[in-house]
Amino acid sequence: MVLLGLILMPLVAALVAAVTPSARVRPLIVAGTALLHLAGALTVRSGDSMFGGWFLADALGRLILLVVSVLFTLCALYGVGYLRVRKERSNLVFCVCLLTFLSMTTAITLAQHLAVVWVAVEGATLSTAVLIYFNHNARSLEAAWKYLMIGSVGIALALLGSLFVAYAALHGASGDESLLFSALLEHGTALSRPWLRAGFVLLVVGYGTKMGLAPMHTWKPDAYGEAPGIIGALLAGGMTNCAFLALLRVYRVMQAAGEGAFARELFLGFGLLSMAVAAAFMAGQRDFKRMLAYSSVEHMGILVIGIGVGGIAIVGALLHVINNALTKVVLFLSAGNIHRAYGSKSIDKVSGALRRVPVSGALFLAGFLAITGSPPFGPFISEFTILSGAMSGRHFVVAALFLIFLVVIFIGMGATVLAVVQGPVSPAGDTTDFRDTFWRVAPMLAALTMVLVMGIWIPDGVYGMVLAAAKMLEGAS
Amino acid sequence: MREIASSILILAVTMNFLALGSSNLKACIRAAALQGFFVSVFPLFFSPEPTARLVGLVIVAGVVKAFVIPGMLIRALREVHIQHEMEPYLGLVPSVLLLAVGTGAAALFAGRLPLMSSHRDLLVVPVALATLFAGFLLLTTRRKAISQVTGYLILENGIFVFAQLLHEAMPTLVEVGVLLDLLVGIFVMGIVMNHIQREFGSLDTDRLSELRD
């Protein structure tokens, strides 16, 4: 019942928002739905299922579900204040699409069927394409078009990959043609390996496009650069993690079929390439929202490297899912505030954010320190765990490259962030009357607090959930 | 029946070359529409005993792939008065050559994938992969939004052909998956195309090049 409610309630709320005439009330509907969703998500227990196991909350899905729910709640609360500033634009479509996005991402986390996962990813993609176009100008149109074209090809390849996996099951002649993950896992070794391998590659490319792994990341800088900060946060912490979850579910099937090593090599390759691309493009980046997009490419790379390395690094990767999502809330929302305050997102025009919008500026700086892995923030723990996993697994080349990329990215990102927050307030800062208010900064403060807690003392409940999820990914091969 | 099915697949592959080789956008869309027709009727000859359900799929797929979507694209074409794909990123001759190489590579790769005995004498996998590649080429090497959407249409045709291998075992999955993707994808692209045209007064995606590093 809870599961059905979590998926349907946002859709019902979307309908209500669609017929609500007041632009002031609609964001409140979104925020209220988010809080209800969070309350519901907290009551979900591992093993809850519906529709004969097509939807089931396992440890892995529950972890991502909670991350998405917390993230969405923080963004929705911020959205109330944000949409009040953006009165010039109708927020009707925006609110409806936000709620659809919540429903679709929830469905991804709970779906246990290859095809259902795919349909939900498609739904989430289409609703975000509309959200990216919120500003209705030439630049956001370009970003939305690229997102749609690249995303559609990605989703088409993921469909073909799913069909390949289905054929692997059919050819394996197990007599059971179910595409439920439980059935695929059970028949693991009976699956036709050439088809499974080809299907997995297609799925990695397809869902990797949604995650924004290099070289399929090219939509990301445009989308994150042009979409409102709140959408950037939802994409970077929500959509990408859901696509990662889809990959993890297929990875388990690969493991069951004895193809785990092949999958891990592929993950390591894409992961290192993503970090390298992020390092190269982060240096000298003058647009601080595009810079955050490359940071997202980097962290998606870190996630798949963690899985590719295996062992304790899996725990690190899953912790990083949480840390990355929460830190991205801080970074994207504060970047959005700074963008609003200056009317520009180029460091040529923006400086002195610490003076102009002190809280947002400070949060942007703190978010930068957190995401680059500085103690005492959460990402330090998760990145360190992945690194030690790489060392103990004797992946020395991976570990060395990982460290080098982290350092290069720290320097590259630092130059841009410091240019934004330090110095005297640039003239562009006087052109708007945007100020930090409670609702514009409180969600970020909450997220930063959680990131800090994750770095100092991980709550038992969270750690237990991460360990249970990691256990699902530790296979024999 | 099997011979007819094979001939239909070969006709579908020829449409790839027509779509990529024509400088006239309308001809390109027509080739895609004709291909949509071929791949839609293919299941009738491929399946040992066509069921009512299969006939339903054929009719819906045929209407959508051969008439509705191409019709939408041709109407969009008429509204913006463009006839030719001027200066594609990759010339017509090189792209046809590349497609020939890709079609060969698809055949080679498909040979490495084991097939069930009932699927062995057919060209389904190489044709599906070659068509996928053709769609991908159109998507990446053309400037006009309409050409890109046509490329997406062809890419989906390739997936549709492959999906027929699974239709007997998992009919619902195949039907829902392919048609939903196509309909919704093209629908949203149509809306965005409309916006592009209003914003820029043209459907040339070259105008969409402000965002870069």
Q: What's the CA gap between B162 and A198, in Å, rounded?
A: 14
Encode pLDDT of B35-73 as tens digits: 999 999 988 888 777 788 888 888 888 888 888 888 888
Q: What's the CA gap between A296 and A379, in Å, rounded?
A: 13
Quote the minimal CA–CA distance from A464 to chain B in Å: 36
Q: How many residues are recorded in chain A? A: 477
CB of A54 within 8 Å of any CB in chain B? Answer: no
What is the CB neighbour count within 10 angstroms for residue A474? Answer: 12
Report the alpha-carbon angle A4-A162-A47, nearest 5.
35
Q: What's the CA gap between A23 and A39, in Å, rounded?
A: 25
Q: What's the CA gap between B174 and B172, in Å, rounded?
A: 5
Indicate yes or no: CB of B169 within 8 angstroms of CB of A179: no
Q: How far lies A267's CA from each of A85, A270, B89, B113, in Å?
A: 42, 5, 32, 23
Give the closest of A119, A129, A290 to B180, CB-based: A119
Q: How far lies A301's CA from each of A244, A260, A337, A387, A437, in Å?
A: 11, 18, 27, 13, 35
Residue A431, both tokens: 């052109």
Residue B98 near residue B66 (C-beta atoms within 8 A): no
Distance of CA A115 to the CA centre of its chain: 21
Q: What's the CA gap between B153 and B132, in Å, rounded?
A: 10
Among all chains, which residue has been given the structure tokens 């725990």? A315
A 21-50: CB under 8 A from B: none
| Helix (H) or strand (E) segment spanning residue A281 | helix A260-282
Q: How far lies A19's CA from each of A24, A37, A97, A329, A409, in Å?
A: 13, 21, 14, 29, 46
Report the alpha-carbon angle A76-A78-A83, nearest 5.
90
Percentage of chain B modeled with pLDDT above 90: 22
CB of A115 within 8 Å of any CB in chain B? Answer: yes
Side chain identity at residue A69, one-letter code: S
Give the lowest-confidence range in A428-437, B9-18, B93-102, B203-212: B203-212
Q: What's the CA gap between B141 and B125, in Å, rounded?
A: 24
Q: Which of A113, A134, A148, A149 to probe by mutation at the B interface, max B CB count within 10 Å?
A: A149
What pLDDT tens digit does each residue of chain A (477 aa) get? 788 999 999 999 999 999 988 888 999 999 999 999 999 999 998 888 888 888 999 999 999 999 999 999 999 999 998 888 888 888 899 999 999 999 999 999 999 988 889 989 988 988 898 899 888 888 888 888 888 888 888 988 999 999 999 888 888 765 666 788 888 888 888 888 889 999 999 999 999 999 999 899 989 999 999 999 999 999 999 999 999 999 999 999 999 998 999 999 999 999 999 999 999 998 888 899 999 999 999 999 999 999 999 889 999 999 999 999 999 999 999 999 999 999 888 988 999 999 999 999 999 999 999 999 998 899 999 999 999 999 998 899 999 999 999 999 999 999 999 999 998 888 888 888 888 888 889 999 999 999 999 999 999 999 999 999 999 998 644
Q: How far lies A473's CA from each of A174, A427, A476, B96, B117, in Å?
A: 24, 52, 10, 45, 35
Residue B112 neighbours by CB under 8 Å, 6+ apart: A194
Confidence (pLDDT) at A476: 47
Q: What are phi and psi of A462, to 5 degrees?
A: -65, -45
Residue A335 neighbours by CB under 8 Å, 6+ apart: A229, A232, A288, A289, A292, A345, A364
Where do the DSSP E strands lie in A252-345? none
Q: Which of B166, B175, B191, B207 to probe by mutation at the A interface, max A CB count within 10 Å?
A: B166
Cα nearest neighbour of B186 on chain A: A152
From the list B136, B158, B176, the residue with the least C-alpha distance to B35 is B158
What is this model's ipTM? Answer: 0.89
How many Cβ pairs closer than 8 A exist between chain A and B?
112
- DSSP label of A372: T
Residue A317 neighbours by CB under 8 Å, 6+ apart: A302, A303, A304, A305, A306, A307, A382, A386
Among all chains, which residue has been given the structure tokens 């594609």? B88
Give the lowest-confidence range in A347-351, B160-164, B206-210: B206-210
Quote the minimal CA–CA distance from A135 to chain B in Å: 13
Confidence (pLDDT) at A175: 60
Q: What's the CA gap between B198 and A330, in Å, rounded?
A: 36
CA neighbours within 13 Å on the CB side: how many for A17?
Answer: 28
What is the CB neighbour count within 10 angstroms for residue A137? Answer: 12
CB of A316 within 8 Å of any CB in chain B? Answer: no
Question: Which of A27-31, B2-6, B73-77, B205-209 is the most confident on average?
Answer: A27-31
Encode pLDDT of A246-302 as tens digits: 999 999 999 999 899 999 999 999 999 999 999 999 888 889 999 999 999 999 999
Q: What's the CA gap between A11 and A5, in Å, rounded?
A: 10
Residue A458, both tokens: 């991980």
**pTM greater than 0.90:** yes
Q: How far lies A196's CA from each of A258, A262, B160, B173, in Å?
A: 11, 11, 19, 18
CB of A171 within 8 Å of any CB in chain B? Answer: yes
Encode pLDDT of A450-464 as tens digits: 999 999 999 999 999
Residue A391 near residue A399 (C-beta atoms within 8 A): yes
B81-87 own/partner pairs: CB under 8 Å, 24+ apart: B82/B25, B82/B144, B82/B146, B82/B202, B82/B203, B83/B24, B83/B25, B83/B26, B84/B23, B84/B24, B84/B25, B85/B23, B85/B24, B85/B25, B85/B28, B85/B142, B85/B143, B85/B144, B85/B147, B86/B143, B87/B143
Cis status, amide bond into A21, omega within 30 of 0: no
Question: Which of A121-130, A205-214, B147-156, B192-201 is the most confident on average?
Answer: A205-214
Residue A10 near residue A124 (C-beta atoms within 8 A): no
| Helix (H) or strand (E) segment spanning residue A404 | helix A396-421
Where do the DSSP E strands lie in chain B? none
